[in-house]
Amino acid sequence: MERNWGAFGSGFGKGALVGGVMGGISGGREGFLNAKNSVFERNLVFGNLSKTGREEAFKSFVLKHELYQNGMMNYSFEKLDNSYGITKAISPETGEIISIAKAARQFPNGVNSEYTFNSKKLVSIKKIEANVIHDKQHILDLHSGQVNKILQKASSTEGFRAMLEIRAHRSALKWGFQRSYNLGRIKYWDKFLK
């Protein structure tokens, strides 16, 4: 027996369209209220942080967590592929970007940092703050020369990176951010220390 899917397809399409429109109206109203009452700029339709809002949130948390002390960090906003953000060391001799391992070996008294914030990936205010706290640990370790001590303790390149990452994840965890994510990353990096 031949079935006629035309009526079903037409009905399904109309239902999806009506549902989408009604959802948009509902989300738009709620999104508008979220945007109106938000500290940071949001898109009016669904209330998500806009690109400008993400940058505003990042700057706010940088101030809140005092990353500007002694000019220890420069920052920029870019669209990165696989990272929430990247902390890089700056050579005090040339002002150029160098590897963290090189900074640890050649500048035991510490270096300043350049931090690239992924303006594409982070949309949640909590994730943005957690990311700032995470990378603050990297920035402090670089600035204080702690990375040199960590390098001396590490038995391998993987172990050196693992110790740096674990410190940063524990820092964010201590503030209560993204508990399961940070515990998972700590567990992942811990295997390089065994």
Per-residue pLDDT of 79-114, as tens digits, reads 888 888 899 999 999 999 999 999 999 999 999 999
Q: Using alpha carbons only, give the angle 143, 186, 51 rounded to the nearest 5 degrees.
A: 65
By residue range, what is the domain housing residue 20?
Answer: 1-48
Given a cut of 80, is residue 11 above it in pLDDT?
no
90 and 13 in a common domain: no
The three state secondary structure string of 38-86 is CCCCECCCCCCECHHHHHHHHHHHHHHCCCCHHHCEEEEEECCCCCCEE
Per-residue pLDDT of 180-190, as tens digits, reads 999 999 999 99
Q: What is the pLDDT of residue 82?
A: 81
75 and 36 in a common domain: no
Residue 21 is inside which H or E element, if any?
helix 6-37
88 and 131 in a common domain: yes
65 and 43 in a common domain: no
93 and 6 in a common domain: no
DSSP state of 178: S
Higher pLDDT, 74 or 69: 74
64 and 40 in a common domain: no
Structure tokens at 113: 């940092």
Q: What is the pLDDT of residue 22?
A: 47
Specify the number of domains making up the chain. 2
Q: Average pLDDT, whole number, for the chain?
A: 83
What is the share, in percent, of the chain residues with pLDDT greater than 90?
A: 51
Q: What is the largest CA-CA distance in the chain?
A: 82
- Rounded to whole angstroms, how far apart are CA atoms 91 and 98? 6
Q: What is the pLDDT of residue 12?
A: 53
86 and 36 in a common domain: no
Given a cut of 50, is residue 25 above it in pLDDT?
no
Given a cut of 90, is residue 164 above it in pLDDT?
yes
The highest-confidence range among 33-37, 46-50, 72-76, 109-113, by mean pLDDT, is: 109-113
82 and 176 in a common domain: yes
43 and 55 in a common domain: no
Q: What is the pLDDT of residue 13?
A: 55
- For 86, other C-beta atoms within 10 Å of its C-beta total 17
Reported pTM: 0.78
149 and 90 in a common domain: yes
Of 13, 28, 48, the residue that ends a domain is: 48
- Size of the chain in residues: 194
153 and 116 in a common domain: yes
Higher pLDDT, 25 or 61: 61
Quickly tell me which residue has 């065994």 as its tokens: 194
115 and 38 in a common domain: no
pLDDT bracket for residue 74 (50, 70, 90): confident
Of 48, 66, 82, the residue that ends a domain is: 48
Given a cut of 60, is residue 17 above it in pLDDT?
no
